[in-house]
Amino acid sequence: MPTVYFTDTEGTTREITGNTGDSVMETAVRNGVPGIVAECGGSLSCATCHVFVREDELPELPPMEDMEDEMLYGTAVDREDNSRLSCQLKLCDGQDIHVTTPETQV
């Protein structure tokens, strides 16, 4: 089972066991993790599931498509080199992923 570690801006980390094939966003929302809004439910329309991914885990992630890249320019907290929209990060079996949520999504 994949595991997602969500750390908020205050440094508190929540460890959530996810399902293979679900996205990081879905894992957060279904378990009520604060810091992920995801208004559009994962259809890449709202940019309110912004996360910062631990640098060493970036290469393991699916590559970023143009649409995600453009949406990231409109996030509430400015993007960084390790920014992703968590709706685009599908979990693989056994994967561990560490993300930090921004101070606000809207």
Partner 1 sequence: MSTGTADAETKTNDGAAAAGKAPARTGLLIIGASQSGVQLAVSLRAVGFDEHITLLGDEDHRPYQRPALSKEFLQGAVESESLIFRSNAYWDEHNITLVKGEYITRIDKNDDGSGTAHAASGAEFGFKRLALTVGARARKLDLPGAELDGVVYLRNADDALALKAQLDSVREAVVVGGGFIGLEAASSLHKMGKSVTVLEYGPRLIGRAVGEDTSDYFLQAHRGRGIDIRLDARMKRLTAAEGGSRVAGVELGDGTVIPAQLVLVGIGVVPNTELAEQLGLEVDNGIVVDSHALASDGTTVAVGDVANMPNPLPGSPEGERIRLESVNNAIEHAKVAAYSLMGRREDYAGIPWFWSNQADLKLQIAGLTLGYDQTVVRRDEERGKFSVLYYRNGRIIAVDCVNAPLDFMSVKNALAKGQNIPADAAADPAVILKTIITDG
Residues that bind partner 1 (CB under 8 A): 22, 26, 29-32, 34, 37, 39-41, 43-47, 67, 70-71, 73-74
In 3-state terms, what secondary structure has residue 69? helix
Could you tell me the smallest distance in angstroms from the CB atom of residue 56 to partner 1? Answer: 29
Could you tell me the smallest distance in angstroms from the CB atom of residue 99 to partner 1? Answer: 19
| Nearer to partner 1 among residue 56 and residue 93 (C-beta) | 93
| Nearer to partner 1 among residue 22 and residue 57 (C-beta) | 22
Are 82 and 58 contacting, i.e. CB atoms less than 8 angstroms apart? yes
Are 6 and 99 contacting, i.e. CB atoms less than 8 angstroms apart? yes
Sign of the dihedral defined by the CA atoms of residues 84, 90, 92, 98, in that order: positive
Could you tell me the smallest distance in angstroms from the CB atom of residue 46 to partner 1? Answer: 7
| Nearer to partner 1 among residue 29 and residue 89 (C-beta) | 29
Q: Which residue in this structure is represented by tokens 């995600």?
A: 68
Q: Which residue in this structure is represented by tokens 């320019």?
A: 73
